[in-house]
Structure 1
Amino acid sequence: MLSLTDLLNRGPVVSDGAMATELEKRGVTTNSALWSATAMLDHPEAIQAVHQSYLAAGAQIMTTNTYQANVPAFEQAGIPLAQARQLIQQAVKIAHTARDVSGVTDASIAGSIGPYGAYLADGSEYTGAYQLTTTAYQEFHRKRLALMMTAGVDVLALETMPRLDEVQALVQLITATWSQQPYWVSFSIKDPQTLCDGTPLATAAQWVAAQPNVVAVGVNCTTLENIEPALATLKAAVNIPLIVYPNSGDQYDPVTKTWQSTNLSHQFSAFVPRWLAAGARIIGGCCRTTPADITTVAEMVK
């Protein structure tokens, strides 16, 4: 099968969209600290159905349902260690099954690694209002990474990352332990020039671009109107593929864990040509985006 780098050499690549939104449509409750990882416990078939819906829409990347699935979070929810480990690997296996069933053999399976802030389940991935030592970051991420690598992912997705120091710790861990493993880094931003922790986006992207095995850098889980100026910031700073996957236009309230529509809701497709023109090489969707949005991206990329 083709690697993600091979796919990028052929032209822009289409990634998938939201998992939790599609799980909710299938009757899965996601408004807990575990978020979409809740489905691992009692609705694994729904996760597979969501993956297959995105492949059918034209996605060339499937992101595992592991953003908020980590051993400490499962243990906090009362799940025994052995089961927590099994659930994380099961998420990867479900993505493999979806790919096999769909017959889209060149789809890359991206192992989703959310930040420490996602584990806090208080919206910290949008503020960066936490700080650990390099060792503490690495110890937090190590178990999930090892489980996912054993289960078999094509690329790692270090996503919604609000802090450069956490990304540096993670990338150092990956390159030291799995020296050939490709990955992308996607930041959580305060504005099109700045990470949530205050680091200039250009500075963060330049650090990432200088690391081994990185396939793309970009931003995700931000508003539609932030993407084009963020791409301008990134394009001026680095010369590696740029990845973007914004939210649908709806606004999230981390306190109530609910979404409200805005005047940009359902305007996703109108922005895609502008992102392509601004240099995006991988385009997908984050929260509240749907297979219909990904179909639009696939059609425009073609």
Structure 2
Amino acid sequence: MTISEKLAAGTVVLDGGLSTALEERGHDLSGLLWSARLLREAPSEIVAAHRSFVDAGAEVVITASYQASHAGYRAAGLDDEQCDEDLVASVRLAREAAGERALVAASVGPWGAHLADGSEYTGYPDVDRARLRDFHARRLETLVSAGPDLIAVETIPELLEAEVVVELLGELAPDLPYWVTFSATSGARVTGGAPFSEAADVVGGAAVAVGVNCTAPQYVEELLVSAQARVPFVVYPNAGAVYDARTKTWTDEGSSRFEASTVRTWQQQGAALVGGCCGIAADGIRSIADAVDG
């Protein structure tokens, strides 16, 4: 079943925070490569984490490639070929966990993620189009070649970056479905400062969905209300905790699951794909699946 067929059948349940699931399994992800490190060092753990979400009701699993970029691998002392290998492995491992029960979305993290300093939550307006294209092009080409069911462009703070990635996907894989989600904050704005309504317009009608991820759940309603998207919304907020880029940790505030009434409100506002991000483990996805079914 394709993502379009799943959307036609009703609300699609996404997975949760892969890093959260891996940390629950005892892994320290504080290094530059975050969860991508385990693609090479502990691939069976990646499979197990993905599978925990599928068992909880996720219909789409998102690969462990968010932090896997060529620039990031170079900073960590690895080479471009090793990055390519891990990008391909991320899709293969997700597919192994998903089986016939879920689709695989290849994660494309933002430019700021390779800095490992929380830039995806503040923005980087001085990074120009050429640098963004150079950062994303080879990774997108490699992920597309690995054969995912769709692409998940995630945690984008800048409209220009969304525009560049959409442009590249149109060149590299015009028939491959994708969504774009922004990191967002209060005032119905993405974290780079632009109104979310403008962000939704940048993505346009070629995507299967546009929305927000790794955003505090209390901001989602005003974000969705603010925009008139030409495609369905996708939302997978974090637990509502605060991220400390210096220590690479989250505060213990927030909730590991969303109330059923909250999930249904998002559905009423046009969210056709709902899941969780950092702080939302398998139990939180199970509660979303129950709310959607209810």
Aligned to 1:265: 255
1:157/1:192 Cα in 2 relative to 1: closer, same or farther (>3 Å)? Answer: farther
- 1:269 to partner: Cα distance: 2.8
Letter in 2 for 1:268: F
- 1:267 to partner: Cα distance: 5.0
Is 1:253 aligned with 2:244?
yes
Which secondary structure state, in structure 1, belongs to the residue aligned with residue 259 of structure 2? helix
Q: TM-score, normalised by structure 2?
A: 0.95
Is 1:155 aligned with 2:150?
yes
Indicate conservation of the 8 Å contact 2:256/2:279, yes or no: no
Cα distance per residue 1:198-224 (max 9 Å; x no partner): 2111111022124x3x10000111111
CA distance in 2, matches of 1:267, 1:67: 22
Taking only the aligned residue pairs, the percentage that are identical comes to: 38
1:231 corresponds to which of 224, 229, 233: 224
1:206 corresponds to which of 201, 204, 208: 201
1:115 corresponds to which of 110, 117, 142: 110
Letter in 1 for 2:282: P
- 1:41 to partner: Cα distance: 2.3
1:241 corresponds to which of 227, 232, 235: 232
Letter in 1 for 2:7: L
Which secondary structure state, in structure 2, belongs to the residue aligned with residue 218 of structure 1? strand
| RMSD, aligned α-carbons | 1.4
Q: How many residue pairs were aligned?
A: 292
Show the 5 A alignment for 1:89-100: 89-100=88-99
Aligned to 2:209: 216
Is 1:78 aligned with 2:77?
yes
Structure 1 gaps, min length 5: none
CA distance in 2, matches of 1:267, 1:289: 6
Structure 2 gaps, min length 5: none
Q: TM-score, normalised by structure 1?
A: 0.92
Letter in 2 for 1:63: I
Indicate conservation of the 8 Å contact 1:192/1:233, yes or no: no
- 1:71 to partner: Cα distance: 1.6
CA distance in 2, matches of 1:129, 1:151: 30
CA distance in 1, matches of 2:53, 2:247: 28
Is 1:170 aligned with 2:165?
yes
Which secondary structure state, in structure 1, belongs to the residue aligned with residue 107 of structure 2? strand
Aligned to 1:32: 31
Indicate conservation of the 8 Å contact 2:153/2:180, yes or no: yes
Show the 5 A alignment for 1:258-297: 258-262=249-253, 264-270=254-260, 271-297=262-288
- 1:266 to partner: Cα distance: 3.5
